[in-house]
């Protein structure tokens, strides 16, 4: 395998660990905290998780290790979309496991949860694991989006574990994957399998966070990668002075990525989906907001700018979310086949016109035809509109162009408007992890094994105090059920980990809100540049702006 100089150097980077995890396995003990309860719907969650609900939060500290000495055979899977640092979770898990007992084994199940069901695995050794230290991607064992959620699947997994003598499973994933980890843990406990389940919080979207999980891994690296690109585009815009760049970034359910990128680069416009929903902003409201900035900048001779758009923003526009709901209903069941069989767009348009309410049809009619057609592209596995396929950056630039043409006709706008479009997604998901993510992920994996060693089941590996230097981080665990509430999914009440949206009264948004009017009109761009791995700690180990503002550092 040919490797780059950076890759070779990163293999040799030694991740920093929280102080108490650096003491050595023999000197780590447990401090138990209070019993927990779910974030909402306590009685329903408790009834669904009688064996794993209400357990205590724990932290690790220096002291005599009192865990039972026994051989551990651990299985690990990567679940869902890639996020920088996933390899280091596995490396930290492996190192802790081998430091405790060299006969311990780590099975990597390939391709995500399906590997666990199909018993497709490899057994890690030093030579293999060393090729992946501090590198991006999930190619160490691959990932997948198969959901572990039925008793039939759980029974198969239990048999696979029994076959290999597996004592614990570590699931590295986002909110859905860790919800499934919690349900699997409950099944294992109810059936006395003796197998533990530990989760690790991953998602570049940043929406797996709460009072215990300060940051999901991958968010730091991905937002720094996107911010480098946005900064590069902003510098180009400020050089050429003739284009408005509309840049869509990841974040369907929450706008953490967009907000962090805005805090790092200071674009002229950044939409925040949660604010759009709170203010019940219409498509026309958003279009006017952007067009106002374009007009004000044009009046100063600046016919260029940067607009950052979260990928899921259209779902938060009330009239658009109603439209999407109606389209999902319109194409439910066999109606989708009926629609797809129609011979032309004109015939499909008539079908749509006949099936939507007048209010939704009025919204649909003002959309550019390309966007209209995108709403009827391939559905997701649940039969819903795939919002990420909607080119919202092109939708808003097209509507702004039309709005400005009307202003020009009215004599209020005399500038030039030319738009370019970008979507930043895959560029950040497998980047070389920043020092922060390398350290954080290694700690999460190391910590996950300590939870296994002490017999915990249905817990999430937790590392906190993340805005401080790594040696001051605090390691421990929290019951997955603590993060759960009941949500309506496909006509059924389901226990799920509650997604964390951008808090409009939180410090990161408040800082953005206080500065955005100035950024909208002035050219206040910041060019953060590439992620730095070597050099001063304040450059190389810096956390995200979001985390720094939340902890006022």
3-state secondary structure 259-277: HHHHHHHCCCEECCHHHHH
Active site residues per annotation = 205
Phi, psi of 508 (to 5 degrees): -60, -45
Q: Check if the beta carbon of residue 200 is closer than 8 Å to that of residue 208.
A: no
> What distance lies between CA 269 and its chain's CA centroid?
22
Rounded to an integer, what distance in angstroms lies between the CA atom of residue 56 and that of residue 506?
A: 28
Degrees, nearest 5: CA angle 512-516-517: 150
Where on the phi/psi map is residue 173: left (φ > 0), alpha (ψ -120 to 50), or beta? beta
Rounded to an integer, what distance in angstroms lies between the CA atom of residue 2 and that of residue 5?
A: 10
Whole-angstrom CA distances from 327 to 123, 335, 364, 372, 406 are 47, 11, 10, 11, 30
Rounded to an integer, what distance in angstroms lies between the CA atom of residue 499 and that of residue 489?
A: 14
> For the purposes of burial, counting CB atoms within 10 Å of the CB of 149, is it exposed (0-12), middle (13-18) or buried (19 or more)?
middle
Rounded to an integer, what distance in angstroms lies between the CA atom of residue 65 and that of residue 48?
A: 33
Rounded to an integer, what distance in angstroms lies between the CA atom of residue 225 and that of residue 531?
A: 7
Phi, psi of 486 (to 5 degrees): -100, 130
Other Cβ atoms within 10 Å of 480 Cβ, number: 32
Rounded to an integer, what distance in angstroms lies between the CA atom of residue 366 and that of residue 364?
A: 6
Degrees, nearest 5: CA angle 452-456-457: 105
Rounded to an integer, what distance in angstroms lies between the CA atom of residue 465 and that of residue 472?
A: 7
Cβ neighbours of residue 354 closer than 8 Å, sequence gap 6 or more = none
Record the tokens describing residue 374, joined without a space: 């995108």
Helices (H) and strands (E) in the chain, counts: 23, 16
Record the tokens describing residue 39, joined without a space: 């974030």
Other Cβ atoms within 10 Å of 472 Cβ, number: 11
DSSP, collapsed to helix, strand or coil, labels residue 282 as coil
Q: How far apart are the first and last CA of the chain?
A: 42
Q: Dmax of the chain from CA atoms?
A: 80
Degrees, nearest 5: CA angle 152-154-160: 110
Rounded to an integer, what distance in angstroms lies between the CA atom of residue 388 and that of residue 372?
A: 14
């Amino acid at each position: 395998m040919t490797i780059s100089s950076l890759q070779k150097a990163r293999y040799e980077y030694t991740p920093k660990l929280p102080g108490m995890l650096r003491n050595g396995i023999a000197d780590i003990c447990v401090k138990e905290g209070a019993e927990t309860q779910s974030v909402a719907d306590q009685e329903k969650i408790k009834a669904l998780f009688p064996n794993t609900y209400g357990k205590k939060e724990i932290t690790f500290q220096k002291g005599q290790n009192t865990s039972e000495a026994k051989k551990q055979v651990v299985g690990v899977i990567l679940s869902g979309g890639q996020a920088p640092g996933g390899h280091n979770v596995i490396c930290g898990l492996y190192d802790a496991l081998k430091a405790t007992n060299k006969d311990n084994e780590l099975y990597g199940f390939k391709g995500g949860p399906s590997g666990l069901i199909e018993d497709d695995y490899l057994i890690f050794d030093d030579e293999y694991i060393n090729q992946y230290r501090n590198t991006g991607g999930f190619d160490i064992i691959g990932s997948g989006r198969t959901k572990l959620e039925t008793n039939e699947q759980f029974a198969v997994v239990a048999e696979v574990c029994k076959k290999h003598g597996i004592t614990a499973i570590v699931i590295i994933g986002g909110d859905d994957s860790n919800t499934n980890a919690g349900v699997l843990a409950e099944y294992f406990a109810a059936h006395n399998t003796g197998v533990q389940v530990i989760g690790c919080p991953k998602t570049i979207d940043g929406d797996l966070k709460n009072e215990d999980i300060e940051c999901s891994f991958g968010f730091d690296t991905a937002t720094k990668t996107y911010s480098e690109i946005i900064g590069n585009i902003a510098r180009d815009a400020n050089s050429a002075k003739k284009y408005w760049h509309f840049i869509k970034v990841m974040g369907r359910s929450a706008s953490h990525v967009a907000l962090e990128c805005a805090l790092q680069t200071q674009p002229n416009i950044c939409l925040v989906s949660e604010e759009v929903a709170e203010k019940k902003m219409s498509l026309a409201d958003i279009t006017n907001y952007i067009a106002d900035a374009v007009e004000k900048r044009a009046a100063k001779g600046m016919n260029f700018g940067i607009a950052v758009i979260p990928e899921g923003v259209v779902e938060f526009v009330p009239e658009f979310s109603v439209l999407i709901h109606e389209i999902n209903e319109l194409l439910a069941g066999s109606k989708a086949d009926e629609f797809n069989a129609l011979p032309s767009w004109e015939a499909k348009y008539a079908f749509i016109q006949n099936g939507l309410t007048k209010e939704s049809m009025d919204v649909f009619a003002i959309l550019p035809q390309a966007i209209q057609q995108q709403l009827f592209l391939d559905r997701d596995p649940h039969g819903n509109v795939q919002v990420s396929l909607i080119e919202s950056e092109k939708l808003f630039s097209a509507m702004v162009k039309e709005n400005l043409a009307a202003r020009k006709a009215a004599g209020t706008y005399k500038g030039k408007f030319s738009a370019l479009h970008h979507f930043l997604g895959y560029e950040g998901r497998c980047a070389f992890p920043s020092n922060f993510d390398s350290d954080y992920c290694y700690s999460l994996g190391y910590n996950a094994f300590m939870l296994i060693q002490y017999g915990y089941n249905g817990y999430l590996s937790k590392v906190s105090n993340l805005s401080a230097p790594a040696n001051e981080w605090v390691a421990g665990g929290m019951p997955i059920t603590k993060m759960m509430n009941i949500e309506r999914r496909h006509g059924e009440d389901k226990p799920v980990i509650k997604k964390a949206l951008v808090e409009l009264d939180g410090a990161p948004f408040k800082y953005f809100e206080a500065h955005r009017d100035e950024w909208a009109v002035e050219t206040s761009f910041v060019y953060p540049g590439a992620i730095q791995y070597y050099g001063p700690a304040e450059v190389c180990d810096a956390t995200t702006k979001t985390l720094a503002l939340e902890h006022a550092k």
